[in-house]
Structure 1
């Protein structure tokens, strides 16, 4: 969100010479249109509109103009600049974050409690975008829960911009003064370089990894640089009224149509983000036309000007209110009436908090050291209570988790897969705690011993004995990886070594694969490297998935299959003298299991085996090479008619399809028994 300008004199007949010295009523109206687009698309359509890109461009416009005036006038004081910004931005953000923490505790599930303190701190410390970027490239990142702090990503991009932009402006002005020249041409060159490099990077990164690029500051910096270039260029824009009227309407119409015609969340930033940013730039460049037919006449209407003046707070309030509303109603999208209520309440809260923030911001105005100290004090006075609240909540959660761990260690009531007929024992809570379920992944993930979706390098890690009697290579995708905990338990007992070689969403086959609808070339390259690694390693056994389960309704339920290339790959290993254990894949649930259990009893969170598993294992009756041992432990996860989320008081799944490490460790004795029986050891 961009800073709100303060009303002053009436708008001039032509655009301001270097940025907004006076009040631009039409720009406040443009802010209003942008924030209404953001809110409406979030609330009723579950998608994004390009409105945030407008705010990024306007931030670059206003901040560049302000910094240029300071640098070419009395001098740019970095500390005072940041103090003024902090005093202006932090109070509203702190109020919203504190209220969101309270709403999360009261209305959201315990699963979202765990991350709320850290997400709140990330929001106030301006690094939410990197948190989301890291999740976007993690194949195993849980996608069932939407964070009520997620929208702070754009504020984080702007916060990082505020840190570097003053240095860039000051350096350009200093260099120009050394040469005795006007700093504006050099500033234009510097900003053009940032624009060009960032846009090129954005285009390339969007093609290579669009989810990461969406939150990457480097891929967004060009949008802010575009605003800076616009602030510098206004001195050279002096179009007649008619073309400016046409320019304003063209820009406004293009902006409104952007979200309707583009799937912004899947194609931005890249060159596609030029659409809303250039549209908004056209509106700003058109300026106040003085024409009754101009777009600025519409944008200068009092209701739009008012919404523009509270747009920062309105943006901050609408998202957590929407998340809380959807959680309470169990809906994916708001109803027309419910969505209108969300927006109306957001406006009311924005109207209430903006004056409070404005009064606090006034303490940080001015250029003196005293004003800077006051601004810093205001920001800290707002930040510290919220950060302490978040820290206290996190500390309480950690203490509760430690208490639970001690309870489990002292109890014999958690047999997991060893429980008679999968019984759930009474009077004991499920372990691991639901809020920490996604930390029950194999420890290889914390060790960095798995390749991410975009990577191609073969990462190998060895566990167990340094002088083993048997070496087992665990190879495949995440459904192979979740067997690690059981294999490690056997390795520790039998003096084995386990070599972990896994990659997200990548099956152990040379057949072509896809990921999110695109050819998965990184998987093919990784597979070639794995075969070369196994040729050198020569393990006794490769442990991998022998089938793949499926919940793709377009292909029909029960589409478990032996993937093309599996058997051929096993024949290649046979030629190397390497044995293969092909374990049948595990059932998949069509929902996030811990999230379901947070609001329902275990018997309400079950799944039928036929939803992802074939009635008979596809491995039966296949002509398999002699080096292959087939294992099927489906009966330890499912009865004939139902697959259970909790067995022996142990949580089976940490998401919708991946088995938790705790349950896998309880499955190790049964895995050993069947493996030994099949191979005769």
Structure 2
């Protein structure tokens, strides 16, 4: 038997390195989430709960001010350096209208509420097709920052219960963590099923992961496991972590109950502890290179994502090649090691006696205030530029002159005027959305109502039916309906094909809501009997364009009811963002 105590655990530092490598590798080459962040959240709960409880055991009080000042001195400087680097990169290499969003998110990330910005954005379908933010990964740090405040309050309540009612501190703390787990995990499962994209960034859906780490910290000193079992647990845990991102579509299914997989795998590694066996996983995790990388895991996590986003952005790609990905990983590692050397080893020496609470706050503020200042000033300038551009557009529209349009593409003289600041693009690049306005009226996704446009009393009726990509034809058919006195009906549901048989969502999972929607649409079409149904004949994917049997079956059903079918080819899929190409390289590109 080996006592698993609250001492320094080099294999846990190696586990942090392993988790951050999984995060980086899955992001860079697979465009997927690995579950590594869930490991970090559990470890945060493990360390913070243990730290607060040991502080109370040693001093008889929690000392939250000391705890938070030390935490800010340790976490804020590195994050601030990365945030400042991202702000500079955005200003130099991104179109100004993208930079506006980056500066806004810089403020949110610095003040630990980026996760709520992202949660609100994912609820809006119109924003889901936007380029990813170089600050998106700060969602997990924001949740951690909010967790620290919640956990101090929870542990203060635990200490009060122990003082007033009595009981063993660690047992009461374990019970408090278990209570959080009992509330947060069911909520996470329900919220993930209801609105996964929002649940992914929510603090409440992640709190159980911290709580489970806290429970482990309280129970670990009392656990005794034979060495041979711990040998097996270590390898099971590591192999399970590797498999998580491959087996599950983490970005579409997490957090929910599936997040128990990576969290549970990490717990197995911690339970395995140090076995002393030659071929045990702890020998690998506790090795010099892994612990050194573990010391830099925080900086590596912060740097890898913005470097990847900038690489994809500058190369107009949506995924990295093998060599490109290796370059991204190498740059990320270099930036992490440099940041550790320059910030933590030079500015923030580990001898705590040199830092009083006041000095700790001053150090954190010295790094944070410039970030807030730069982001605020840059944002103000970008707002002013937006207002100036809006003024020029209003002036151009009010002048009554014919404004440049598609004709400019065939006339070199007109084309040259597009680069003139006095002839801004309408609509501005910042406002370009290729989604029709009926989304704003709730005529897509979960709604089941017949949406009518054009001449509502028209003699002939056209129905636009299918997934969101058929909706791109809405403006043309709406204008035709208005010109010819037709009634236009819209039946669209995002990511839901107008087809028979089993249908799947973008993550490859069975999509029962889509099949139910198909049945409802067919009922409506049979009842309303439009003269013409307009739908897609193909799906254009990265691996080519195909027509599916399920599409043709639907056309035969409509033909049987006397409804004519106009089946249009799918729109081409563009591998980059055209508006950003124009913003970066001008209209000549």
Q: Which TM-score bucket, shorter chain as reference? A: 0.7 to 0.9
Shift of 1:397: 4.4
| Counterpart Cα distance in 1 of 2:152 and 2:537 | 54
Q: CA deviation at 1:375?
A: 6.3
1:251 aligns to what? 237
Deviation at 1:61, TM superposition (A): 0.6
Distance verdict in 2 for CA 1:473–1:120, change over 3 Å: farther
Aligned partner of 2:421 in structure 1 is: none
1:586-605 alignment, distance < 5 Å: 588-591=571-574, 592-598=577-583
Q: Structure 1 residues 91 and 452, CA, compared in 2 at 3 Å: closer, same or farther?
A: farther
Aligned counterpart, 2:46: 61
SS in 1 for 2:535: coil
Relative to structure 1, the CA distance from residue 286 to residue 469 in structure 2 (aligned partners, 3 Å threshold; closer, same or farther) is closer
SS at match of 1:546: strand
User: Which residue of the partner structure matches residue 629 of structure 1?
Assistant: none
> Aligned residue for 1:414?
403
Deviates more, 1:136-145 or 1:310-319: 136-145
Residue of 25, 29, 32 corresponding to 1:47:
32
Aligned partners of 2:284, 2:588: CA distance in 1, in Å?
57
Q: Equivalent residue for 1:105? A: 91
The structure 2 residue matched to 1:426, chosen from 392, 415, 429, is: 415
Alignment of 1:655-670 (within 5 A): none
Local SS of the residue matching 1:219: coil
Cα deviation digits, residues 286-329 of structure 1 (max 9, x gap): 33345555433332322222211111011111121222233344
Residues 96-154 of structure 1 deviation map (CA, whole Å, 9 limit, x = unaligned): 12212222333345664343223323332333334444454544445463322222222
- Structure 2 CA distance, aligned partners of 1:90 and 1:484? 49
Residues 56 and 62 in structure 2, CA contact (< 8 A), matched pair in contact too? yes
> Do 2:435 and 2:471's aligned partners in 1 also have CA atoms closer than 8 Å?
no
Q: Structure 1 pair 242/561, CA: closer, same or farther in 2 (3 Å)?
A: closer
CA contact (8 A) 1:111 1:595 kept: no
SS at match of 1:547: strand
Quote the Cα distance in structure 2 between the aligned partners of 1:351 and 1:421.
Answer: 49
**Aligned-residue offset at 1:224:** 1.6
- In 1, distance between residues paired with 2:549 and 2:323? 43
Instruction: State TM-score, norm by structure 1.
Output: 0.68
Which one has the largest radius of gyration? Answer: 1
1:118 match: secondary structure: helix
Whole-angstrom CA distance in 1 between matches of 2:196 and 2:106: 25
| Equivalences for residues 20-169 of structure 1 within 5 A | 22-72=7-57, 73-108=59-94, 112-143=98-129, 145-169=131-155
Q: State the distance in 2 between where 1:86 and 1:542 align.
A: 64
Q: Distance in 2 between matches of 1:488 and 1:404?
A: 29
Q: CA RMSD in A?
A: 4.8
1:278 aligns with 2:246: no
1:437 correspondence with 2:426: no
Query: Do the aligned residues in 2 keep the contact of 1:456 with 1:525 (CA within 8 Å)?
Result: no
* Matched-pair contact (CA < 8 Å) for 1:151–1:316: yes
Q: CA deviation at 1:233?
A: 0.8
Q: Kindly tell me: are residues 506 and 276 of structure 1, through their superposed partners in 2, closer, same or farther at Cα, counting changes over 3 Å?
A: closer
CA contact (8 A) 1:101 1:116 kept: yes
**Which range moves more in the overlay, 59-68 or 109-118?**
109-118
The match for 1:546 among 529, 534, 548 is 534
SS at match of 1:274: helix
1:185 aligns to what?
Answer: 171
Task: Give the number of aligned pairs.
Answer: 571
Residue 412 of structure 1: how far off its partner (Å): 2.7
Q: 1:363-402, aligned counterparts within 5 Å?
A: 370=358, 373-374=361-362, 377-378=365-366, 380-392=368-380, 394-402=382-390
The question of whether the paired residues in 2 share the 8 Å contact of 1:195 and 1:226 is answered with: yes
Would you say the 8 A contact 1:65–1:231 is kept in 2? yes
SS at match of 1:126: coil
With over 3 angstroms needed to count, the CA separation of the structure-2 counterparts of 1:261 and 1:481, relative to structure 1, is closer
Alignment match, 1:665? none
Structure 2 contact 555–565 (Cα < 8 Å) conserved: no
Is the Cα contact below 8 Å between 2:41 and 2:209 reproduced in 1?
yes
What's the CA shift string for 1:460-514, capped at 9, x where partnerless?
7x9999xx999999976656766777899999999x9999987545689999866
SS at match of 1:588: coil
Shift of residue 459 of structure 1? 9.5
Name the TM-score, length of structure 2 as normaliser: 0.77
Task: Point out where structure 1 has 5 or more consecutive residues left out of the alignment.
Answer: 1-12, 575-579, 605-681
Distance 1:357 1:485, change over 3 A: same
| 1:216-365 equivalent positions in 2, closer than 5 A | 216-292=202-278, 294-358=280-344, 359-360=347-348
**Cα distance in 2 between the residues matched to 1:550 and 1:365:** 68
The 8 Å contact of residues 132 and 215 in structure 1, kept in 2 or not, is answered as yes
Q: What is the alpha-carbon distance in structure 1 between the residues aligned to residue 349 and residue 372 of structure 2?
A: 17
Alignment partner of 1:150: what SS? coil
Instruction: Name the CA shift for 1:381/1:165 in 2 (closer, same or farther; >3 Å).
Output: same
Distance 1:276 1:565, change over 3 A: closer
Residue segments in structure 2 that go unaligned for 5+ positions in a row: 419-424
